[in-house]
Amino acid sequence: MQDCLFCKIAAGEIPSKKVYEDDLCYAFFDIDPQAPTHFLVIPKQHIASVSAVTAENQSVVGHIFGVIAKLSQELGMESYRVVSNIGEQAGQSVFHLHFHVLSGRDMTWPPG
Ligand code: AMP
Ligand code: ZN
């Protein structure tokens, strides 16, 4: 999608610190980390948020969670949090579906 930051990152048009890539998804470190380990996993296809997941595109979400499980094992992350913000009130600032993966510090519940 034109003028989408994460579409451009997935396409390599904007530089990022890559963690992982395959045909369907791209993972990269967050530019403003909120934990000692903080990366994002995004579908290469533009999907605006969880709210835009449909029967036609939902398989990539399961794929992304498989990738998160694999990366967490490879990076030795025993405990971590996966977050997706949907809408401005929930803190979404980039309107391309992404899952934050945060690890390496104590976390509180409920989230702020
Ligand atoms: P959210 O606020 O949930 O939409 O998450 C967007 C995330 O993207 C934030 O944690 C930002 O720090 C991160 N971010 C924004 N621009 C970049 C970038 N160029 N490279 C890596 N992460 C970014
Ligand atoms: Zn996009």
Distance 93 CA to ligand 1 centre (A): 7
pLDDT confidence of residue 112:
85
pTM value surpassing 0.85:
yes
Determine the residue of 84, 94, 95, 99 to mutate for testing ligand 1's pocket, defined as the one with the most ligand atoms within 8 A of the Cβ atom.
Answer: 94
Indicate left, alpha or beta for 16 from its phi (over 0: left) and psi (-120 to 50: alpha): beta
Q: Let me know: does 37 contact 77? Beta carbons within 8 Å.
A: yes
Please provide the average confidence, as pLDDT, over all residues in the chain.
97
Q: Let me know: does 11 contact 3? Beta carbons within 8 Å.
A: no
Q: What is the Cα–Cα distance from 69 to 57, expressed in whole angstroms?
A: 20
Q: Let me know: does 66 contact 77? Beta carbons within 8 Å.
A: no
Q: What is the pLDDT of residues 7-58, one digit of tens each?
A: 999 999 999 999 999 999 999 999 999 999 999 999 999 999 999 999 999 9
Taking residue 70's Cβ as centre, other Cβ atoms within 10 Å add up to 11
Nearest protein Cα to ligand 1, atom 17: 31
Say yes or no to pLDDT of 1 above 90: no
What is the separation of C-alpha 18 from the centre of its chain, rounded to a whole number of angstroms? 12
